[in-house]
Amino acid sequence: MRSNNHIITCSYNSIYLLLISIIMTSIDFGISTKMILYPVCAILSIILFIQNNKIKRKSFLGVELAYLMLIVTSLLRFTQYTYDLLSQVIMFILAIFPFIFISKMYINIKWLNYIVIICFLISNLNRFNGLSLTPKSFLNSDIGIESPMLAYIFPLFMIFWMNRNNKRMILVNLFIIIIAGKRIALLSSIIILLMNVFNVFTRNNSKDEIKLLFSIVIILINISYLIFSYFFALGYFDDFIYEQIGVSSNFLTQGRQSRYEYILNTLMNRNNLGMIFLFGIGLGNTNGILEVEMGHSLRIHNDISKLFYESGFLFFILFFILFYKKATYITLPYLLYVNMLYLTDNALIYVPVIFSLILFLHSEELSKEGIKVYT
Averaged pLDDT for residues 337-344? 96
Asked, for residue 68, whether it belongs to a domain, the answer is: yes
pTM (predicted TM-score): 0.91
Asked, for residue 24, whether it belongs to a domain, the answer is: no
Asked, for residue 241, whether it belongs to a domain, the answer is: yes
Whole-number pLDDT of residue 3: 65
Residue 51 scores a pLDDT above 80: no
Which of 75-84, 219-228, 297-306 shows the highest mean pLDDT? Answer: 219-228
Q: Say how far apart CA 181 and CA 137 lie, in whole Å.
A: 9
pLDDT per residue as tens digits for the range 118-130? 999 999 888 778 7
Number of folded domains that form the chain: 1
Whole-number pLDDT of residue 48: 79
Asked, for residue 291, whether it belongs to a domain, the answer is: yes
Averaged pLDDT for residues 8-18? 82
Asked, for residue 249, whether it belongs to a domain, the answer is: yes
Whole-number pLDDT of residue 72: 92
Asked, for residue 92, whether it belongs to a domain, the answer is: no
Residue 35 scores a pLDDT above 90: no
Residue 295 scores a pLDDT above 80: no
Q: Say how far apart CA 60 and CA 268 lie, in whole Å.
A: 37
Q: Say how far apart CA 61 and CA 179 lie, in whole Å.
A: 32
Asked, for residue 22, whether it belongs to a domain, the answer is: no
Burial of 220 (0-12, 13-18, 19+ CB in 10 A): exposed
Q: Say how far apart CA 124 and CA 141 lie, in whole Å.
A: 16
Check if the beta carbon of residue 353 is closer than 8 Å to that of residue 152. Answer: yes
Q: Say how far apart CA 248 and CA 239 lie, in whole Å.
A: 8
Residue type present at position 374 = Y
pLDDT per residue as tens digits for the range 358-369? 999 988 887 776
Residue type present at position 235 = G
Q: Which domain holds residue 216?
A: 59-83+127-375
Asked, for residue 66, whether it belongs to a domain, the answer is: yes
Q: Say how far apart CA 74 and CA 76 lie, in whole Å.
A: 5
pLDDT per residue as tens digits for the range 190-241? 999 999 888 777 665 555 555 667 778 889 999 999 999 999 988 888 888 8
Whole-number pLDDT of residue 47: 83
- pLDDT band at residue 375, thresholds of 50, 70 and 90? very low
Which of these, 45, 160, 148, lies nearest to 105 by C-alpha position? 45
Q: Say how far apart CA 320 and CA 322 lie, in whole Å.
A: 5
